[in-house]
Structure 1
Amino acid sequence: MQSEIENCLAGQQFNTSDPELQELIHRARRFTKEYNGSVSTDTVSRKRILSELLGSIGSNVNIDTPFYCDYGKHISIGNNVIININCTFVDCNKIEIGNNVLIASNVQIYTATHPVEMQERLVEGWVENPSVPYFRTYALPVKIEDNVWIGGGVIILPGVTIGRNSVIGAGSIVTKSIPENSLAVGNPCRVVRKINQ
Structure 2
Amino acid sequence: MEANKGTVKIGNSVFLNRNCSIISCERIEIGEGTSLGANVLIYDHDHIYVREGSQPWNEIKSSPVIIGKNVWIGANTVILRGTKIGDNAVIAAGSVIKGEIPSHTLAYQERNTVFKEIS
Q: Are the aligned partners of 1:154 and 1:173 in contact in 2 as well (CA < 8 Å)?
A: yes
Q: Are the aligned partners of 2:6 and 2:25 in contact in 1 as well (CA < 8 Å)?
A: no
Task: Give 1:119 shift.
Answer: 4.2
Equivalent of 1:181 in 99, 104, 109: 104
In structure 2, distance between residues paired with 1:182 and 1:121: 42
- Write out aligned runs for 1:86-105 (5 A): 86-105=19-38
Equivalent of 2:91 in 140, 158, 168: 168
Segments ≥4 residues shifted beyond 3 Å: 70-73, 118-121
Task: Give 1:114 shift.
Answer: 2.4
Which residue of structure 2 lines up, in the alignment, with residue 71 of structure 1? 4
User: What percent of counterpart residues are identical?
Assistant: 36
Which structure dedicates a bigger proportion of its chain to helix?
Answer: 1
Q: CA RMSD in A?
A: 2.3
Question: Is structure 2 residue 78 aligned with structure 1 residue 155?
Answer: yes
Could you state the TM-score of these two structures normalised by the residue count of structure 1?
0.51
SS in 1 for 2:42: strand
Matched pairs, number: 111
Higher RCO, 1 vs 2 (CA within 8 Å, ≥6 residues apart): 2
Which structure dedicates a bigger proportion of its chain to strand?
Answer: 2
Could you state the TM-score of these two structures normalised by the residue count of structure 2?
0.82
Q: Are the aligned partners of 2:68 and 2:85 in contact in 1 as well (CA < 8 Å)?
A: yes
The 3 A distance-change label for structure 1 pair 121 and 178 is farther
Higher gyration radius (CA): 1
Which residue of structure 1 lines up, in the alignment, with residue 60 of structure 2? 137
Question: Is structure 2 residue 18 aligned with structure 1 residue 85?
Answer: yes
Q: Are the aligned partners of 1:69 and 1:89 in contact in 2 as well (CA < 8 Å)?
A: yes
The 3 A distance-change label for structure 1 pair 74 and 117 is same
Which residue of structure 1 lines up, in the alignment, with residue 116 of structure 2? none
The 3 A distance-change label for structure 1 pair 156 and 120 is farther
Instruction: Give structure 2 stretches of 5+ with no counterpart.
Output: 112-119
Task: Give 1:113 shift.
Answer: 1.3
In structure 1, distance between residues paired with 2:37 and 2:51: 34
